[in-house]
Structure 1
Amino acid sequence: MPSEKQLAVREQAALWIARLHADDCNDTDRARFVQWMREDTCNANTFELLTDYWELGGGVPTQSIPATPAKRSDTHGFSLGRRSALALASAALIALVPTNKTARASRVLQASTGHTLRIALPDYGTCLLDSGSRMTLSEDGHRARLEHGQVLLSPESPSDFHLSVRNVTVRLSRQTSANVRMEQNCTDITALRGRILLRSGTTAARDIWIRTGQRFRIAQNGAVSIDYPNIEALLSWQTGRLIFRNTPLQEAVSEIRRYSQRQIILASPTVSNMRLSGVYFVSQGEMFLRMLPRLLPLTLQEQGNVFIFRAL
């Protein structure tokens, strides 16, 4: 759940977006906005996020607005993001609440930690969000953007469903299904049923098709690969389980972190590279973590909300 500070920043960012869109927005308002942006990087990040939500919902396209040079704070070393600079360039940029006939609101879907969230897409089938995942859904229900986490999509409409994840658009036709996962170090798109179209950019020349059972992976450095993962293990999260088969402990812990409120630290590369086989049940919570020293040559040290694993 967002903290009180995060909620307050979101509210203030929404007010700024609306103010910058107002007809009577003046230079004094814009100067105050710049000062607010530079006070805390959280302010800028939240403003950028709300701007993304509006773009997804059909707001004013930022490409049509000339950019202004980024400004840097002498005290905080903070530079304005592209969209933040655009906000300063025009008072008619983006509004959180639609103020024109063509604008449409979007819907933010958030699964809480330790729980999945199943959503019926009006006339388009269903989606299942994994623990801690967030997705923004357009008002018409046939476009979405995965902000982070994992989602299973199974559209049933004659019209295509489009999911944006980083710089790729996943197009799902009727009676297809895909599992899409977005992590810090990579993005995975797995076709579970039918042929799935992946598009990077705006031209068909960069289209890629993947078939049932294929996984398209984009690494953090931009490298791409296609493989055939174990589908049972891949989809085990739907039933509250994580299946590990000779999995590096670093990868296993990365999975478990999505379901735990604990901070989990692996103290050395030796620990990170240990191999783990077993089944993690989300409902068991910390029990699995406390059992790791019995399965591997490890010690567990608890410091408040932190679990630290060290090699013996």
Structure 2
Amino acid sequence: MTRQASSPAASDSLIDEAAYWCMRLHAEDCTDEERAAFERWVQSDPAHAREYQAMLDIWQVSEHLPRQAMPTDGLPPPPQAPSRRRLRRPAMAVAAALLLSLSGLLGWQQGWLPNDIQRYHAGENLREATLPDGSRVQLNLGTTLWFSNFRDRRSVTLSEGEAFFEVQHDGSHPFVVYAGKGSVTVTGTQFNVWKYEEQVVVTLTEGSVKVRSDAQEVDQVAYLSPGMQARYGSKDEMPHISAAKAGSLAWREGKLVLDDLTLAEALPLINRYLDKPVLLADQATAGIRIGGIYDTRNVGQLVQALPKVLPVYLSQNADGNTVINGNEQLF
């Protein structure tokens, strides 16, 4: 979807309501009653659903807007917002979201706001898309990303999933991908970004990229050359550099390659395709190794078949997660 810097079709009150519900649904203390009230509101009018989706798109990218330059005076307060609310994201993200709805040319000229936001999603099928700047992207199953066009840069927010980018060269407008607690900056190149929970892996196939981990507010940068990978998590102050793993890009052909990995290493790759994550019973089970090439559409069948190829058995916990248990009698 496309979201312009201002929304003349939507009334100020509707923008306020959409912003309010976006804040409340992201609040840690949002109640079941509030969620039910939101469902009634969003289903009562198609315009409500459209404006909420537009506000949600803005919310996803607002944390990457420049804080030091963002004016906040004059923002309308959310309607009937309770006074003591704990939000998962800073209040500035809300201000940014509202500004992006209400501001126009000034925000674009100052580099505060994008003049366009587009959302891309791949559900049960791989998807290829051309971004507004001419760059191409391929999205893995279950992947969502947002593209924002700023005056001085091109910005992508990868919330979850995996994408392969072929970036159109533009030396004056860097292309920045935000994923987890870090970012990838290029001017024109080809690379892959995989994100699961707080783990991020960047694989470079052509050109060069700058990978930054900003965990714990520490700015650490690593530079990749083709055939290299950078990995970082929520607590890593510096990206970890290594040679690219075999099969890192096999997903583009619908394949999951597990190249003699421990189950602890393999599960994030497997869980990426499941509705409920598979768990490990203990450290001994985590060390069992697995290999093979599998269809990304049938990862659930792979899990159910594990006892046939590994010394393990499967159980379920109280939350309905499949648990892999090492079968000591088979060691």
Q: Deviation of residue 212 (structure 1)?
A: 0.8
Q: Decide which of 300, 303, 306 is 1:292's aligned counterpart.
A: 306
Give me the whole-angstrom Cα distance separating, in 2, the residues matched to 1:181 and 1:95: 30
Give me the whole-angstrom Cα distance separating, in 2, the residues matched to 1:263 and 1:180: 21
What is the match of residue 106 of structure 1?
Answer: 117
What is the match of residue 94 of structure 1?
Answer: 98
* Residues 196 and 211 in structure 1, CA contact (< 8 A), matched pair in contact too: yes
What is the match of residue 161 of structure 2?
Answer: 149
- 1:86 and 1:119, CA in 2 relative to 1: closer, same or farther beyond 3 A? closer
- 1:169 and 1:266, CA in 2 relative to 1: closer, same or farther beyond 3 A? closer
**Secondary structure of the corresponding residue to residue 19 of structure 1:** helix
> Please, what TM-score do these two structures have when normalized by structure 1?
0.69
Q: Deviation of residue 311 (structure 1)?
A: 2.1
Which letter does structure 2 place at the counterpart of 1:234? S
What's the C-alpha RMSD, in Å, of the aligned pairs? 4.3
Which letter does structure 2 place at the counterpart of 1:80? L
Which ranges in structure 1 are unaligned for 5 or more consecutive residues? Answer: 1-14, 23-29
Q: Decide which of 230, 234, 240 is 2:248's aligned counterpart.
A: 234
What is the match of residue 188 of structure 1?
Answer: 201
Matched, 1:53 2:61: yes
What is the match of residue 177 of structure 1?
Answer: 190
Which ranges in structure 2 are unaligned for 5 or more consecutive residues? Answer: 1-11, 36-52, 74-81, 109-113
Residues 160-195 of structure 1, C-alpha deviations (whole Å, 9 max, x = no match): 422222453322233x21111223343222221112
Give me the whole-angstrom Cα distance separating, in 2, the residues matched to 1:72 and 1:271: 48
Residues 101-157 of structure 1, C-alpha deviations (whole Å, 9 max, x = no match): 346241222222x43222112343211122222211114793211122221111134
- 1:238 and 1:85, CA in 2 relative to 1: closer, same or farther beyond 3 A? closer
**Secondary structure of the corresponding residue to residue 287 of structure 1:** helix
Give me the whole-angstrom Cα distance separating, in 2, the residues matched to 1:308 and 1:72: 42
**Secondary structure of the corresponding residue to residue 248 of structure 2:** helix
What is the match of residue 91 of structure 2?
Answer: 84
Which letter does structure 2 place at the counterpart of 1:229? A
Give me the whole-angstrom Cα distance separating, in 1, the residues matched to 2:253 and 2:66: 37
Percent of aligned positions with the same letter in both sequences? 17
* Residues 59 and 97 in structure 2, CA contact (< 8 A), matched pair in contact too: no
- 1:191 and 1:263, CA in 2 relative to 1: closer, same or farther beyond 3 A? closer
- 1:109 and 1:311, CA in 2 relative to 1: closer, same or farther beyond 3 A? same
Alignment of 1:14-93 (within 5 A): 18-19=15-16, 38-40=29-31, 50-54=58-62, 63-65=70-72, 79-81=86-88, 83-84=90-91
Q: Deviation of residue 265 (structure 1)?
A: 2.9
